[in-house]
Amino acid sequence: MQLIEGFMAVLHPVTLFLIIGGVVAGIVFGAIPGLSALFLPITFGMEPVNGIAFLIAIYVGGLSGGLISAILLGIPGTPSSIATCFDGYPMAQRGEAGKALGTAIVFSFVGGIFSALVLTYLGPAIAG
């Protein structure tokens, strides 16, 4: 029952708007290391569900945004983008930056959705 209430809270239109905006802002500011932390004070006046959803969205967007500088500049924007430098930056030097960015973003999205689903359904069983 709590799982359904949680999904209903996250699927509220305001929360979905904040999630989408947070991911976009996270990607933009994640490409510039350290700037995604500037959004923390914005959440102080929000409802708890909206604030946490916004912070998670910025975090996830920031991780994906770190891929941009790792591929284009060879400088990882986040610690999780270090391995992306090894393959993505040489691809960008060969003129395949679009392919490297597209692949990195798609599989970052797929991995995020998969891990969220696993955590949602296995988390309560493991915690019990």
Region 84-109 average pLDDT: 92
In this prediction the pTM is 0.80
Q: Which of 45, 39, 6 is nearest to 24 (CA)?
A: 39
Identify the pLDDT of residue 124: 85
* CA distance linking residue 121 with residue 125, whole number of Å: 8
Cβ-count burial 10-33 (b if 16+ within 10 Å, e if not):
eeeeebeebbeebbebbbebbbeb
**Could you report the per-residue pLDDT of 112-121, keeping only the tens digit for each?**
889 988 988 8
Question: Of 54, 52, 42, 43, which is closest to residue 18 (Cα–Cα)?
Answer: 54
What pLDDT does 101 receive?
A: 92
Please state, in angstroms and rounded to a whole number, the distance separating the CA atoms of residues 19 and 13: 10
Least Cα distance to 104 among 27, 24, 21 occurs for 27
- Structure confidence at residue 118 (pLDDT): 92
Mean pLDDT score of the chain, rounded to an integer? 87
pLDDT of residue 6: 78
pLDDT digits (tens, 9 = 90+) for 24-37: 888 888 777 667 67
Q: Rounded to whole angstroms, what are the CA distances from 41 to 11, 53, 54, 60?
A: 23, 14, 12, 18
What is the per-residue pLDDT across 37-64, written as a single tens digit (0 to 9) for each? 788 888 888 999 999 999 989 888 888 8
Nearest to 75 by CA among 86, 60, 62: 86
**DSSP code string of 5-35:** HHHHHHTSHHHHHHHHHHHHHHHHHHTSTTG
Is 100 a residue whose pLDDT tops 80? yes
